Homo-oligomer: A and B are copies of this chain.
Amino acid sequence: MRTQVVTIHDVARAAGVSPATVSRVFNGGRVTPERAQSVQQAAAALGFAPNRLARSLRKQRSSVIALIIPDIENPFFTSLARGVEDAAQRTSLSVVLCNSDEDTDKERRYLEVALGEQMAGVIVAAASQDDTDLGPLIARGVPVVAVDRRPHDAEVDAVRADDRHGGEVATRHLLQAGYRRIACITGPEGASTSEERLAGYRAALHAARSNGAVADDAYVRHADFRVEGGRAAMRELLALPEPPDAVFVTNNLMTIGALDALDEAGRTPPGVGVLSFGDVPWASLVRPSLTAVELPSYELGRAAADLLLQRMEGGTAPLQTVVLRTTLQIRESTAGPVASD
């Protein structure tokens, strides 16, 4: 298993030119056509593949961009990743995905990798609002775009959904459907999406107080954006002396858990209203069908990548925050409480 590497020197020698010329052939310098051709031939014959490390080292910039997401098992993020990929596809950049697992340590390591590997750009859905430190990347001049979640005080371009507004619309819908004791299962306290969606929920409830709506923090649960967390939170809510008659769950996976817990307790929507922020994966299989705030996951990725590419091309426009709209899809799970309940 010989590790015989073919370098630009070998190609140069074979083609009877200097390494500089070979480099120019591959990078669009001026070379006479015939010479270029003989270089091409030599390279092909020898099976030359440029050493990207050397290239990146010299150019001070590699040709891959990193996408750091907090949960690779959440279809929302994989769809977002597709958006990023498709946008990057049109350039010569490759996308590598890093899964921080909602763990700021893992995330830090990946950020270090991105910095140390001189990646051309970074798109990050931050694991934490506070502990995600984009400083080194920014100081080094690496373009960074925050997507979905916004790190607290970082000076970066951002692409996100209108979380607060979505939360408000969702909660108003539950109120209109006749639910009164509306609970909220939201994500970890550090995440901007958690907070904003919760804020929207609170605002809607607050506005409807005179209407008999119950605004009580006993109905608010912070979980971890995962199935298990949603299940546990829902169990807790169902165990309250006066259980909620509806629940607004701020992410898709937790909704799955919540539905499981409901099922376990023998309750089903819309007897207990269930509204998910973000579509549940393969929602078509779920009965009754789920009302959800539709989150433009793919477009978020797409927009983030576009913004990044723009920035990489040297755009000096002031920092932007792009906010994408969510839309409420009303389905069966929020048809209203049953009379006897």
Contacts and interface: CB of A to CB of B under 8 A. Distances in A.
The copy count of this chain in the complex is: 2
Nearest to A92: B109
A82 B112 CA distance: 20
A90 interface: no
A113 interface: yes
A53 B118 CA distance: 7
Interface size class of A (residues with CB under 8 A): 35 or more
A100 B329 CA distance: 32
Contacts of A260: 284-285
A81 interface: yes
Contacts of A214: none
A57 to B, nearest CB: 4
A72 to B, nearest CB: 5
Interface in A3-62: 3-5, 47, 49-54, 56-57, 60, 62
A73 B99 CA distance: 14
A246 interface: no
A116 interface: yes
A256 B227 contact: no
A163 to B, nearest CB: 23
Contacts of A286: 285-286
B115 A49 contact: yes
A116 B49 CA distance: 7
A282 B281 contact: yes
A85 B64 contact: no
B256 A3 contact: no
B94 A98 contact: yes
- 10 nearest A-B pairs in the assembled complex, by CB-CB distance: A52-B116, A96-B96, A97-B97, A3-B141, A53-B57, A73-B78, A72-B78, A1-B141, A285-B286, A256-B282
19 contacts: A3-B60, A49-B116, A50-B116, A51-B116, A52-B116, A54-B57, A57-B57, A62-B117, A73-B75, A73-B82, A81-B99, A82-B99, A94-B98, A94-B109, A97-B98, A256-B285, A260-B284, A260-B285, A285-B286
